[in-house]
A and B are shown apart, each in its own frame.
Chain A
């Protein structure tokens, strides 16, 4: 670890504390909104590991979300398991799949990697449709007693772990190596960084937390259906969140989740399409003019902020 923890980490802890308090004090109506915010944040942090930090654009990240959702749904629905077990196993399976897939596809560069992730999602969707045990085209219902706080604090804990992990990775020697890869992968290997290991680690972390987030998502909506589970909209939203917030940063994913989700909740019942439209526009502007997102912009605009924001 390079240096003592900075203001960013403490600031994020304060935000998380506020989110916890909100759920406990403001009632079910508020916590039902915030739980989805936390799910989005968890997914944003998970894609941040592979896309934000390492620079490999994972359009197919929804695959891990789907894995987590299916694991939780089948465990709870067929075996009556505790949903927390579902979350744990969902995360584990996400990790395992990421390892297996990553070993094959992480050797593809840039665009080829991105396309392959897309293809994998489509293939996985079609394969899942074959199995009636996985609901085929229908849904697997998770019939549990309503436990809003349990769900909420599970995802809250996951996000907290991700924040700490992201922060420490960025501050550590691993982070140094990761940034080297993002800049120029070939040069990085010549100075002693091992791209293979780091890329795989990043992808596996993405799979781990993507699976965890997906499992909690299935828990919160009481089920999983094939079509929506593999819907690219999630991947695209996750990408949008980190692009808007700031790729690779510790604050970025959470900030991006807030910017993407909160207005969308409000717009949901008025002009529901305005939200993805605005997000698309924001992403275009960010990509062309502000590739390091809001956090990057703030850091570049002011010396003090540059030292404080990560």
Chain B
């Protein structure tokens, strides 16, 4: 084959291409150099002015729903703190500034972005991204660069098995998610129900579901089906059919927001109506009910927090635990001032709580030094609007309790545990 005649003269094209490439590379390099070495000397704000808290959050991609709620929660908490005296260290009150980027729900981008946040933006403290998978990708950087990192959206127990010293969780670990649902079944004469567990294969869903299977088996419940599916699997019909064929009556599992939608959608198309459904993450989002309509009714789900729980300075005093931060009403109020926030869900609460706990730890330590602050966090036992905060030796949360919620007549009701419930579980699920 002979060569095709070129449209432009080769030399001209060459010059044009070289110029463009050189411009792009040079301008990127130039701007980078200017921004980092001329306009602002590296990390000069470390000892003055504001307290910079850096993080990535999923504003686009698979976790965009949960990520958006988390970001609004963080912003709400930070605003409240800044309006109420800021963070006081050595007698000087400082405001919290937030330095964040969209990680697009991609764990590949997380290390690059956190490196930038730490080495160039000079963040002094870190929050983890949303989801255990992304938190897992971010945590090593907290260790490498020695910054305290609070996990608000990563609950998988495995995060705390690597010996990290700087990573602490505010939310209850994944292994506790299904406990309330299983306890309810046992306590209400349904321990004869056969259980099916179908979950996404990411680290969080696997941890939560594996713990559920163990816990159920320990209470002598019959788990007749236990399987996982990968993120790319869109069609769960065959697995749901297999669960049904195994005789399952109840269904636990799911993953993140999309997984909940997937499962409920396909339950109706394969013609299976379990008597009891409990799904991770998705159920607590208003969009779950909006998109599924009647099929969402009577679906239950574990929640880290709802706006109607009763943590307050009074409860803290009664339990002899120090209180810090906004109360429910104040948090919800500040939350509503954030743009595009919708109504707060537990993702908002846990993320806001992370900021609150961090601020309190810094004040308690009266220092911005990583070692002092992490020492303070390890020893803290306080109560916030989100619940109790106390970590174990590995940094995993041990003081916080979860609740079980259920959609009833278009509204979300807290149905367990009895101490905080505002309603009771309606059984069985009818699919409408």
Contact = CB atoms under 8 A, between A and B. Distances in A.
Interface of A: 28-29, 32-33, 36, 126, 129, 136-139, 141-143, 146, 220-223, 225, 227-228, 231, 233, 258-259, 262-263, 265-266, 268-269, 272, 289-290, 294, 297-298, 300-302
Given A143-B143, A146-B144, 5 more contacts: A28-B119, A29-B119, A265-B28, A272-B102, A298-B18
B140 A222 contact: yes
Given A28-B119, A141-B140, A290-B17, A126 B133 contact: no
9 contacts: A29-B120, A137-B228, A141-B140, A221-B111, A225-B137, A233-B108, A259-B21, A272-B104, A298-B18
A32 B117 CA distance: 12
The prevalent SS among residues of A at the interface is helix
Interface string B77-118: 000000000000000000000000110101111011101100
Interface of B: 6-7, 10-11, 13-15, 17-18, 21, 24-25, 28-29, 31-32, 36, 42, 101-102, 104, 106-109, 111-113, 115-116, 119-120, 133, 136-137, 139-141, 143-145, 156, 158, 162-163, 200-203, 206, 228, 230-231
Contacts, number: 120
Contacts of B115: 32-33
Contacts of A231: 108
Q: Which 9 A-B pairs have the closest CB atoms?
A: A137-B201, A222-B140, A138-B203, A301-B14, A29-B119, A146-B144, A266-B28, A221-B111, A301-B11
Contacts of A28: 119
Contacts of B111: 220-222
B144 A225 contact: no
Given A137-B203, A301-B10, A222 B144 contact: yes
A29 B42 contact: yes
Contacts of B29: 262
Given A29-B120, A297-B10, A298-B14, A223 B140 contact: yes
A137 B208 CA distance: 14
A262 B28 contact: yes
A33 B140 CA distance: 17
B13 A290 contact: yes
A137 B230 contact: yes
A242 B25 CA distance: 17
A177 to B, nearest CB: 21
Contacts of A29: 36, 42, 119-120
A302 B31 CA distance: 32
A265 B106 CA distance: 15
B230 A269 contact: no
Contacts of A298: 14, 18
